[in-house]
Chains A and B, each alone.
Chain A
Amino acid sequence: MGRQYPLTCDNNSLAGAVSQRACVYSGARVVLNPVTDAVHLVHGPIGCAGYTWDIRGAKSSGVETNRSSFSTDMKEIDVIFGGEKKLSNAIDELVGLYHPPVIFVYSTCIVGIIGDDLEAICKTASQNHNIPILPVKSEGFKGNKSDGYKAACDALKKLIKRPQKEVAGEKKPEVSPEVRNPKINILGDFNVAGDVWLIKPLFEQMGIEVIVSMTGDSTAKSISRAAEADLNLVQCSGSMTYLAKWMQKEYEIPYMSASFFGIEDISIALRKTAEYFGSKEMKKKVEEILETETNRIMPEISRVRERVKGKRAAIYMGGPAKALTLIKGFAELCMEVVIIGTQTGQKEDYEQISYSVRNGTVIVDDANPLELAELLVKQEADLMVAGVKERFIAYKLGIAFCDFNHDRVVEFEGFDGFVNFAREVDASINSPVWKTVRQRTLKPETMKPERATIKERISGEPREPEFLHRKLDKVTENQAFGEASR
């Protein structure tokens, strides 16, 4: 091994690069959009709202206000004279029409330039309508996606209410939490394809109430109760650690990182939670759950494992948490990870990643499509896990693809989710289409003569010609083929 160069990350993308990253607004929108009963009002020109209209598969068990796209559709005249009036009128209008319990007002690039006072407008509107109307400071150019996460968390902070008893001056009891009904929040799970609905029951079986999952399938009401929790489990660390730290400081709620993807990580998450609450009964229950569930899905996992083991996976995700947990997931399927990269990883994340992969794995930050394509070929990947934009690069190269992003339509979390994941990996890697696309131009001279094909058909499995020669003497062979071709 030659000299080691530290990987640089958390920089802004290079100008002119075709980065897979997005902007501050996109970070904020991704995090907040799953709040189901909120009106998500984008203050800016039409594009920002249009391109984010219902593009994420976060499911709701109730209302679906979040699936509509609201915008002030700023025009040139608003840019010149300011968009404040239009914004406050739009808020009034939407409150009258939709009666939402909360409105998130996102600022976009030009709002940051022309200087509309979002805070003042939101404050006045909040007072007028008596609902929280929260500014989300997400001017696209003011940082990167991670800054958007932070802006989203800042808005969520304002929704979380101080629990009643504390207001009354009662300090939280210092006793171990096992005496009461334990309550948790899951931070950084967006209920894509219904993920949360496979996780919540596990905790409920353990006797734990999940107050809210932020922000998957959450509502203004459930978020407001978040401070009643005894513990926060943080899944998407990139977006939610900030909020968890704040809740720890503000409400003395500790947090632990957790992942609900893959048998190993789910087991760790449940055991750690039980360990935290310290109840023997709960620990016993966890072992029961793990045993039953693992036994239930293991036959299917083993079946898939046989079909995919040794295959080489490339991971390119938005955040580092998903990347890390995927490494373990692939290990459970006996697959190798040959490329791993993220859009927004920090230095510590990459260090952690480097411990969890073997030598020879390429680690990248903020890769562009050309780099990704080169790496996929060089590392001989069989499968890529990423988002939609990368999908077609993989396809063009003849490499299988699995969408682990917010666009997917099947759950990947929890036990059944892992089965779904394994099946999807199997379906994509083992599709005969990859063999077919290896030959991209029809070259008559390289085609096997029709006879050879028939030969294979007769002997069942395709076999080496030598093998056939040993079994059949030349005459019978020819006769056999003569028969078949007639």
Chain B
Amino acid sequence: MTKRSYATVNPCIMCQPMGSALAFKGIENTMVLYHGSQGCSTYMRLQLAHHFREPVDIASSSLSEKGAVYGGRENLKKGLRNVINRYNPKVIGVATTCLAETIGDDVPAIIREFKEEEGIGNDPEKDIIIIPVSTPSYGESHVSGYIKALEAVVRRFAESHGEERAVKNPNGKLNLIPVESLSPPDVRELKEILEATAGNYIFLPDISETFDAPLSDNLPKIAQGGTPLSEIADMPNSRASFGLGIVSKNLALEYLKESYGMPGYSVPIPIGLSKTDTFFMELVNILGCPIPEKYQKERGRLLDAMVDVHKYLYGVKAAVYGDPDMVFSLTTFMLELGMDPVLVATGSKSRDFGMMIGQIFGEIRPELAPVVLDGIDFDSLNDAVSNCSPEILIGNSNGRYIAKARGIPLVRVGLPIHDRVGAQRILTVGYRGALELLDRITNTILEATDTFTAPVQAEPAAYDGLRFERNV
């Protein structure tokens, strides 16, 4: 359609509580409770179940009209009590919704009261830990909800060490904290890399098991896996923090930096060649260790593959959209492959996004002039697509309408992906992730342009006469 200033058509972001669940679900033995009305939990569970194809339990304080008028104090307390009784979690992440925020519930105060009433102390060893995070739907997006929840978690565990902000028992570990939700295999890949380099590390949040659980003999109430609580508590003792993502501000990393003077390095999410290179280089710089042979070989294979496909990809016009940091790294990779990302967009509002994308273009392909948009919805993306005429779309499932309408293929990455299987298995980070992505992009283009599989192969008309002769 045309330019709109008031109505949003087909949103390209989700709301903050959703992001908080993506973060909390990566912590060992943690339940999530939304303080708000019932629908929030149901809708977000549905969204996550569609994407990860796992059971997703999120409780709700089920605020009713009475609660909305007189405050949600009793509902929240009752909710916490029930969650503890039924699920027996070690941690409860309490994310507020727009309703709870608008009626002005002081959630931290209610939780303090609840803990007093129930005799819950502050001993992280034996007491249940309740972590509130303020995530109204009317603020920013799921990306900020994710970042805020991680900060709340790190802060809460750090504070359980006591008031004094000093590193007590240096553990020599490296903290790894992404600013956007990565897929389970992404987390596994990064953990493997850290295993091979740092050895000692703490990855927060670790959804590699909780959102991609194997079929096992029992169905635990809370999915197994997640970052162990002892490790989260140990984070302030680490030698440095490593943040993944540079467009959004990494609040957890900033907190550790400010409160503990911990060195914090933020690098782009390692998608594609150069961004994975950066990741390894920084890692090696911090740790002073060599790059393991295994990854040199993987890098070599990626280079080999990039050479193999360079002709198929050169100049292919692409549109990419999604969460800002993922899009930033994806765009870089496409430029490295010789593609022409004519349209680069994110649903989040971000002042830095356009500047950073511009910089990347300047470094790799200054001659290209992309359209870069932030804070978009899919309707405005559609307008942009019709102006830029890309040959391929790269992003989450919600771009399928545009892809279908324009008759161009869509390579699915990001969240949500609910119309294809395997969303929980898509690997994009590291050299292996880049290889898989490269194969998928190239094969999608080949499939779309392959004349061999076209239904009819017609012989040029000029040969008709010859054949006639022969038949006679």
Report if A16-B219 is in contact (Cβ < 8 Å); known contacts: A46-B14, A90-B6.
no
Q: Does A242 contact B (CB under 8 A)?
A: no
CB of B39 within 8 A of CB of A140, answer yes
Please name all residues of chain B whose beta carbon is closer than 8 Å to the beta carbon of A50 when the two chains form the complex: 11, 13-15
Report how far A67 CA is from B75 CA in the complex, Å: 35
Least Cβ–Cβ distance between A151 and chain B, in angstroms:
13
Least Cβ–Cβ distance between A374 and chain B, in angstroms:
10
Give a binary string over A68-79; 1 marks a CB under 8 Å from any B CB, 0 the rest.
111111111011
Report how far A124 CA is from B73 CA in the complex, Å: 38
Residue with the greatest number of chain A CB neighbours at <10 A, chosen from B11, B13, B75: B11
Q: Does B314 contact A (CB under 8 A)?
A: no
CB of B98 within 8 A of CB of A70, answer no
CB of A70 within 8 A of CB of B65, answer no
Please name all residues of chain A whose beta carbon is closer than 8 Å to the beta carbon of B337 when the two chains form the complex: none
Report how far A214 CA is from B97 CA in the complex, Å: 33
Report how far A396 CA is from B216 CA in the complex, Å: 8
Q: Does B10 contact A (CB under 8 A)?
A: yes
Please name all residues of chain A whose beta carbon is closer than 8 Å to the beta carbon of B43 when the two chains form the complex: 22, 26, 47-48, 51-52
CB of B62 within 8 A of CB of A14, answer yes
Report how far A302 CA is from B62 CA in the complex, Å: 46
Report how far A416 CA is from B15 CA in the complex, Å: 41
CB of A17 within 8 A of CB of B60, answer yes
Report if A46-B15 is in contact (Cβ < 8 Å); known contacts: A14-B78, A16-B61.
yes
Please name all residues of chain B whose beta carbon is closer than 8 Å to the beta carbon of A141 when the two chains form the complex: 36-37, 63-65, 67-68, 99
Please name all residues of chain B whose beta carbon is closer than 8 Å to the beta carbon of A51 when the two chains form the complex: 14, 43-44, 46-47
Give a binary string over B31-72; 1 marks a CB under 8 Å from any A CB, 0 the rest.
001001111111111110110011111111111110110000
Selecting from A105-113, A127-135, A170-178, the interface stretch reads A105-113
Residue of A nearest to B47 (CB): A51
Please name all residues of chain B whose beta carbon is closer than 8 Å to the beta carbon of A144 when the two chains form the complex: 38
CB of B8 within 8 A of CB of A71, answer yes
Q: Does B82 contact A (CB under 8 A)?
A: yes
8 Å CB contact of B7 from A48, A78, A94, A441: A94
Selecting from B133-141, B303-311, B457-465, the interface stretch reads B133-141
Total A-B pairs, Cβ < 8 A:
226
Q: Does A452 contact B (CB under 8 A)?
A: no
Please name all residues of chain A whose beta carbon is closer than 8 Å to the beta carbon of B74 when the two chains form the complex: 15
8 Å CB contact of A70 from B8, B38, B56, B59: B8
Report how far A74 CA is from B46 CA in the complex, Å: 23
Please name all residues of chain B whose beta carbon is closer than 8 Å to the beta carbon of A14 when the two chains form the complex: 62, 78, 82
CB of A392 within 8 A of CB of B9, answer no
Least Cβ–Cβ distance between B300 and chain A, in angstroms:
34
Residue with the greatest number of chain B CB neighbours at <10 A, chosen from A46, A50, A143: A50
Least Cβ–Cβ distance between B355 and chain A, in angstroms:
23
Q: Does A205 contact B (CB under 8 A)?
A: no
Please name all residues of chain B whose beta carbon is closer than 8 Å to the beta carbon of A44 when the two chains form the complex: 98, 137
Report how far A75 CA is from B4 CA in the complex, Å: 16
Residue of B nearest to A112 (CB): B68
Q: Does A370 contact B (CB under 8 A)?
A: yes
8 Å CB contact of B215 from A13, A22, A140, A437: A437
Q: Does A114 contact B (CB under 8 A)?
A: yes
Please name all residues of chain A whose beta carbon is closer than 8 Å to the beta carbon of B67 when the two chains form the complex: 141
Contact-residue bracket for chain B? 35 or more
Please name all residues of chain B whose beta carbon is closer than 8 Å to the beta carbon of A48 when the two chains form the complex: 39, 43, 137
Report if A110-B78 is in contact (Cβ < 8 Å); known contacts: A50-B14, A393-B219.
no
Least Cβ–Cβ distance between A144 and chain B, in angstroms:
7
Q: Does B79 contact A (CB under 8 A)?
A: yes
CB of B7 within 8 A of CB of A70, answer yes
CB of B15 within 8 A of CB of A45, answer yes
CB of A388 within 8 A of CB of B10, answer no
Report how far A437 CA is from B215 CA in the complex, Å: 8
CB of B219 within 8 A of CB of A373, answer yes
Residue of B nearest to A86 (CB): B6
Q: Does B425 contact A (CB under 8 A)?
A: no
Q: Does A21 contact B (CB under 8 A)?
A: yes
CB of A19 within 8 A of CB of B18, answer no
Least Cβ–Cβ distance between B64 and chain A, in angstroms:
5
Q: Does A18 contact B (CB under 8 A)?
A: yes
Q: Does A435 contact B (CB under 8 A)?
A: no
Q: Does A12 contact B (CB under 8 A)?
A: yes
Report if A19-B44 is in contact (Cβ < 8 Å); known contacts: A14-B78, A53-B10, A109-B99.
no
Report if A68-B11 is in contact (Cβ < 8 Å); known contacts: A13-B62, A14-B62, A16-B81.
no
Q: Does A149 contact B (CB under 8 A)?
A: no
Q: Does B326 contact A (CB under 8 A)?
A: no
8 Å CB contact of B138 from A22, A24, A74: A74
Q: Does A356 contact B (CB under 8 A)?
A: no
Q: Does B301 contact A (CB under 8 A)?
A: no
Please name all residues of chain A whose beta carbon is closer than 8 Å to the beta carbon of B57 when the two chains form the complex: 18, 369
Residue of A nearest to B214 (CB): A440
Report how far A74 CA is from B80 CA in the complex, Å: 29
Q: Does A193 contact B (CB under 8 A)?
A: no
Residues of A near any B CB (own CB < 8 A): 12-26, 41, 44-53, 55, 67-76, 78-79, 86, 89-90, 92-94, 97-98, 108-110, 112-114, 140-144, 368-370, 373, 388-389, 391-393, 396-398, 437, 440-441
28 A-B contacts (beta carbon < 8 Å): A15-B61, A16-B78, A16-B82, A17-B62, A17-B82, A18-B59, A18-B60, A23-B39, A23-B40, A26-B39, A50-B14, A53-B398, A68-B9, A74-B138, A79-B136, A89-B6, A90-B7, A92-B6, A93-B6, A94-B7, A109-B99, A110-B98, A140-B37, A141-B37, A142-B64, A392-B55, A392-B56, A440-B214
Known: A46-B8, A48-B39, A73-B11. 6 other contacts (CB 8 A): A17-B62, A22-B42, A48-B137, A52-B43, A67-B401, A141-B68
